[in-house]
Chains A and B, each alone.
Chain A
Amino acid sequence: MVNANIKIKTFLYRYTSVILLFFSILNEADFNNLGSKYFSFNFAYILIFYYTLKRGDGIGYVYIFIAGLFNDVVNAVPMGISSLCYLLLCAAAVYLRNITLRPNIIKDWIFFLITILILNFITFSYLILFFNHEINYFNQMINITFTFLLYLFFSFLFKFYDNIILGRYS
């Protein structure tokens, strides 16, 4: 019984982030497009950055790569662009983890802002230059701003989940 509990908790600890990532990408209720003109955010960016930064083994690069492909197909953007962005986000998070001696949430937060700005720049440039997509910059600015602002909230939420529910295995 105890073993089963441990197994379930270990499974949840390892795979909650993966399940959340795929669920947020595949589900119709997308935080990227909530129907409001003045509120949207990129949940996948927050999730990937947080878990790659805070956990040594992260979410799993292959899962992130596949999730990116899924996101591209579902959102009808060229295949590979989201994977590239997610993996670059991972690279930035791992780099930050490597150079950080004393973790500080504010520094993580600012680093996250710079990273998502660069990633969005790459995405927009690619879509505009190679695919002639028209982009609503106002919506994208709203999206980036709320992704940045909500990072703090979600990082506390994820930390709470890890510490309280599965804290003993972390």
Chain B
Amino acid sequence: METSRDDFVIAIRSAFLKKGNQQRFSLLSLILFSIIFLILGSFNFKLINFNRTIIKEVIYISSFIATIPENTLKKASNKVSDHFGHYDDYQIAKNKLEELKKKDLSKQIIEFENIELKKLIDDYFVEDSKTYAKVLLDKNSPFLRSIIINKGSKNGVKAGMIVYDGIYLIGKVVEVNFLTSRILLLSDINSKVPVTIQPLNLQAIMSGLDKQKGKLQYIKGEKLINKENKELIVVTSGLGGVFKSGIPIGTINLENSLNKNKIIVDFYTNFSQLKYVKVLSSKKEFINLDQSNKKTYEANKGQILKMNSQLEDIKVLLQQKIIAKEIRNKLENENIRLKGIITSSNKKLDEQDKKIKKYSGNNIEFLELNLLYGHKCRRTFLKSNLFKINTPKYKDCVLKKGLIKNN
């Protein structure tokens, strides 16, 4: 027993303290270094932070260099797949463009109205600073979903700034170095964003779930049943003041949500395809009610009114078009029905003409001869051997010009 404990101690001591031929430090000293790093990491000293920033910069850049071959391959494969899908994409884009053109006017009006109303309730934000950045690293960690961008404090990036892909929200800046920054993506499990579900106007908190999905918390699935069967859109609510309100995030996938008993959000942005992002900070617009503001307000209001009247005109014209179309359809149906009646009437007329022609020829001849030779055939008191009027023999007699006599 004593011997086995000695062996254990010797093995442990050898493992931790013995240096190999190529080793400069013992294992124990490096473990101590690691623990010191961990402890120092929890303090917020300027010197430590500066050193940490330098280490991070070096690592990000070396990591970026290490990923160049992989990224080149990825780009090449993306290009090939894009090339093959080009025609289909073009058709889809064309159809979408047509749809969007139709919606554009209403959207412009709503935007103007929205700005005016937000100004009224003092919730209108304007851009404070805007930076475009390239994604350096998109490495998914088991503990954090984040990306590294090539802009840092040198370019005015600050922690807490909002990051967009186009108009869609993708995350916020959580770590700023001198030349680089880290963005915490919405898909991260630790990301919590206050959101509103439109058009139901429900409030919830969204956190990350999967690569392309988020989940809504503090809300029940039954509340999401909408009678109009419209698509449910998730936008930022602006609560808490970190994100401004109304930034689109994604749509609610009701089918998946019902199956998994979680309310799942499909993000608009594909986080694995991010290349360039927009880093933005916004501030509340200071409303100074001077003469120029008043003029701008009135000009905007005038523009809204003008556009509203245009929209009304378009609506009326559209209604008129619908009514004209209905009338035309009715007239066409009536026309078809009348054409049918005319055709059947013509047929009847033809038949009657034929009948008239058939009978009229004989009768006229009979009447003419009746006038000339009727007296030769008509029975009278004196001519009792002749025929009674309207009898076939009388008719025959008239037609033969009175040459037949009754025996």
Contact = CB atoms under 8 A, between A and B. Distances in A.
Interface of A: 22-23, 26-30, 32-33, 35, 37, 40, 56-58, 60-62, 64-65, 68-70, 73-81, 83-84, 87-88, 90-92, 94-95, 98-99, 126-127, 130, 133-136, 139-140, 143
Interface in B222-245: none
B63 A70 contact: yes
27 contacts: A23-B66, A28-B137, A28-B138, A30-B139, A33-B142, A58-B20, A61-B25, A62-B25, A65-B30, A65-B34, A69-B55, A70-B59, A74-B59, A75-B139, A76-B146, A77-B141, A77-B143, A78-B42, A79-B38, A80-B36, A81-B34, A92-B15, A95-B11, A95-B15, A98-B14, A99-B7, A143-B142
Contact of B70 (A29, A65, A134, A143): A29
A135 B30 contact: no
Q: Is the contact region of chain A dominated by helix, strand, or loop, or is it mixed? A: helix
B41 A94 contact: no
3 closest Cβ contacts across the A-B interface? A80-B37, A75-B141, A26-B66
A79 B141 contact: no
A58 B25 CA distance: 13
Contacts of A79: 37-38, 41, 52, 55
Contacts of B8: 99
Contact of B41 (A56, A61, A78, A91): A78
Contacts of A32: 141-142
- Interface size range on B against A: 35 or more
A99 B11 contact: yes
Contact of B142 (A27, A90, A98, A140): A140
Contact of A65 (B14, B15, B33): B33
Given A28-B139, A91-B15, A134 B71 contact: no
Interface in B330-368: none
A99 B41 CA distance: 36
Nearest to A136: B189
Given A32-B142, A98-B15, A57 B23 contact: yes
Residue from A26, A60, A92 with most neighbouring chain B CB atoms (10 Å): A26
B4 to A, nearest CB: 10
Contacts of A37: 210
